[in-house]
Amino acid sequence: MSAENISNFRKFGKKIICVGRNYKALAAEQGNPIPESPIVFLKPTTSYIEPGQDIVIPPGCNEFFHEVELGVVIGTRAKDVAENDVMKHVAGYALCLDMTAMDFQLAAKADGQPWALAKGFDTACPVSEFIPKEKIPDTSAARLWLKVDGDMKQDSSTSDMIFPVPHVLSYLSRYFTLEPGDIVLTGSPAGAGPVSRDQVIDAGLEAGGQALTSFTFSICLEQTMHTID
Ligand SMILES: CC(=O)CC(=O)C(=O)O
Ligand SMILES: [Mg+2]
């Protein structure tokens, strides 16, 4: 895949691989144990949206949650790559939301069912533009923040991750071949919480004291959804 297509990962990417419960504070808030290895799930690429589109609450969902996350965009194929070598396969980053139908997820967990609908519905993965790798020289020192209707709800450093980015990528590469244009969502920090129809999410990513990107998304129901090609 060309460098141009990688920076267009939202159109050409193959996989959205997500790691969950990667921040102790969030695991504690949600009453979950600290995992011994990364918790992994997938979203389909049809869940991508970009600024200008709306987040749509999936049909039947009554408890809808925001999670702000650092996304890592893969640049070159990686299979079974050690932690100390894996960052060379990274092309860059993106600011991402892991939108979650929490009531679906809780019901699925209770019943031992998969999370596909809870995490993979259309619009479940709002993403920023591509951020080149050089902009985040240290993936354990980036700031992620998220506001709902102007109120700060999430504001953390990636230094709080249980499994740092190189560990996550190396671990994933044992099971999945990481391919150019894939993105890895690295988990949500504390403060993930509910949002509802007509609310507005603002989120941002900073590194080295510099704002790298930010975006705004509105929450709507299906009837008011509009899309861009
Ligand atoms: C695994 C979860 O349900 C939570 C999650 O997605 C996270 O980022 O943490
Ligand atoms: Mg998440």
- Residue having the nearest C-alpha atom to atom 2 of ligand 1: 20
CA distance linking residue 139 with residue 98, whole number of Å: 19
pLDDT of 145 strictly over 70 = yes
- pLDDT, tens digit, 9 for 90 and up, residues 118-132: 999 999 999 999 999
Residues 7-27: what's their mean pLDDT?
A: 91
Q: Which residues surround ligand 2, an ion (CB under 5 A)?
A: 20, 67, 98, 188
131 vs 7, more confident = 131
Atom 4 of ligand 1: nearest residue by CA position: 20
Q: Does residue 225 have a pLDDT over 70?
A: no
Atom of ligand 1 nearest to the CA of 22: 9
Residue located via tokens 């709902």: 148
Which atom of ligand 1 lies nearest, measured to the CA of 41?
1
From ligand 1's centre to the CA of 41, what distance in Å?
9
* pLDDT surpasses 90 at 11: no
- Answer whether 130's CB lies under 8 Å from 6's CB: yes
Cα–Cα distance for residue pair 76/89, rounded to 1 Å: 5
Arithmetic mean of pLDDT, 4-31: 89
* pLDDT confidence of residue 137: 97
Here the ipTM equals: 0.98
Query: In angstroms, what is the span from residue 109 Cα to ligand 2's centroid?
Result: 15
What is the best residue among 39, 40, 146, 184 to mutate for testing ligand 1's pocket, by most ligand atoms within 8 Å of CB?
A: 39
pTM of the prediction? 0.95
Kindly state the average pLDDT of the residues 148-165: 98
Cα(2) to centroid(ligand 1), Å: 31
Question: Closest-lying ligand to the alpha carbon of 156?
Answer: 1
* pLDDT band (50, 70, 90) for residue 210: very high
Residue 11 phi/psi, 5° resolution? -100, -35
Within 13 Å and on the Cβ side, how many CA atoms surround 31? 1
How many Å separate Cα 178 from the centre of its chain? Answer: 16
Residue 32: predicted pLDDT: 87
Residue-level pLDDT at 55: 98
Closest CA to 173 of 15, 7, 2, 3: 15
159 in Cβ contact with 27 (< 8 Å)? no
Closest C-alpha among 184, 186, 185, 214 to residue 200:
214
Q: What secondary structure does DSSP assign to 23-82, as a single string?
A: BHHHHHHTT-PPPSS-EEEEE-GGGEE-BTB-EEPPTT---EEE-EEEEEEE-S-BSS--
Distance from the CA of 144 to the center of ligand 2, in angstroms? 13
Q: Is 202 helix (H, G, I), strand (E, B) or coil?
A: strand
Closest by alpha carbon to 184, among 17, 55, 20? 17
What is the 139 CA–ligand 1 centroid distance (Å)? 19
